[in-house]
């Protein structure tokens, strides 16, 4: 019998989960991306199927299965793989994001056509469930339907 497994790369993350529960641990991303060379990026993986994923909480011996639907925020220490590439060019917007009581500041990359694109155009047109945002040494993925308010904090 064959033991077929997809090679994965562990990625350390912090999750704000349903009920505002904070979790720290690892997810396991495919070692080979389908759209580019290298490993699958966290933003690609969270915006793709499947809905459920294994999560190994720090200090645990076994992974649990979590639903992406209940993830409010994913925070990942910044690494060079998370830098904006030429294929991802767009307009940068400094924003303050609110998800209920949670408030985050950072930079959104608006990947929508036209020089006058607005944050609302991006949020209404972007295909994924999670919005990528950069802030200092962190890369955040914010679930769109958890966002209650966004304010542009600086004109670009």
In a domain, 1, yes or no: no
Q: What is the pLDDT of residue 64?
A: 96
**Residues 139 and 82 sit within 8 Å (Cβ to Cβ):** yes
Q: What is the pLDDT of residue 78?
A: 82
Q: What is the pLDDT of residue 46?
A: 94
Domain that holds residue 47: 8-78
Place 25 in a pLDDT band, splitting at 50, 70 and 90: very high
User: Peptide bond preceding 50: is omega within 30 degrees of 0, i.e. cis?
Assistant: yes
DSSP 53: E
pLDDT at 55 over 90: yes
For residues 53 and 94, state if they share a domain.
no
Q: What is the pLDDT of residue 86?
A: 46
pTM, entire model? 0.86
Give pLDDT tens digits for 85-105. Answer: 545 566 788 999 999 999 999
Pick the more confident residue, 59 or 112: 59
127 φ/ψ angles, rounded to the nearest 5 degrees: -80, -25
Residue holding tokens 């490993």? 39
Rounded distance between C-alpha atoms, residue 78 and residue 70, angstroms: 23
CATH of the domain at 91: 2.30.30
Give pLDDT tens digits for 65-86. Answer: 999 999 999 999 987 666 655 4
Q: What is the pLDDT of residue 75?
A: 96
For residues 85 and 150, state if they share a domain.
yes
Please identify, among 78, 98, 120, the residue that sits at the C-terminal boundary of a domain.
Answer: 78
Taken in order 57, 19, 135, 93, the sign of the CA dihedral is positive
For residues 74 and 85, state if they share a domain.
no
Residue 13's H or E segment, with its range, is: strand 8-17
- Give the chain's mean pLDDT: 86
Q: What is the pLDDT of residue 56?
A: 97
For residues 85 and 41, state if they share a domain.
no
Give pLDDT tens digits for 33-54. Answer: 887 888 888 988 999 878 999 9
Number of domains in the chain: 2
**Residues 53 and 69 sit within 8 Å (Cβ to Cβ):** no
């Amino acid at each position: 019998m064959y033991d077929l497994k997809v090679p994965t790369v562990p990625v350390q993350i912090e999750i704000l989960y349903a009920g505002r529960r904070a979790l720290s641990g690892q997810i396991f991303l495919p070692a080979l991306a389908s759209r580019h060379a290298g490993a699958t990026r966290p933003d690609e993986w969270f915006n793709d199927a499947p809905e459920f994923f294994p999560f190994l909480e720090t200090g645990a011996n076994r992974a649990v299965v979590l639903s992406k639907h209940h993830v409010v925020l994913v925070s990942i220490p910044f690494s060079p793989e998370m830098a904006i590439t030429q294929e991802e060019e767009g307009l940068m917007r400094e924003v303050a994001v609110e998800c209920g009581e949670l408030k985050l500041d950072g930079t959104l990359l608006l990947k929508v056509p036209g020089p006058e694109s607005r944050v609302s155009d991006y949020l209404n047109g972007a295909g994924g469930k999670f919005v990528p945002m950069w802030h200092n040494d962190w890369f955040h993925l914010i679930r769109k339907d958890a966002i209650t308010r966004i304010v542009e904090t600086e004109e670009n």
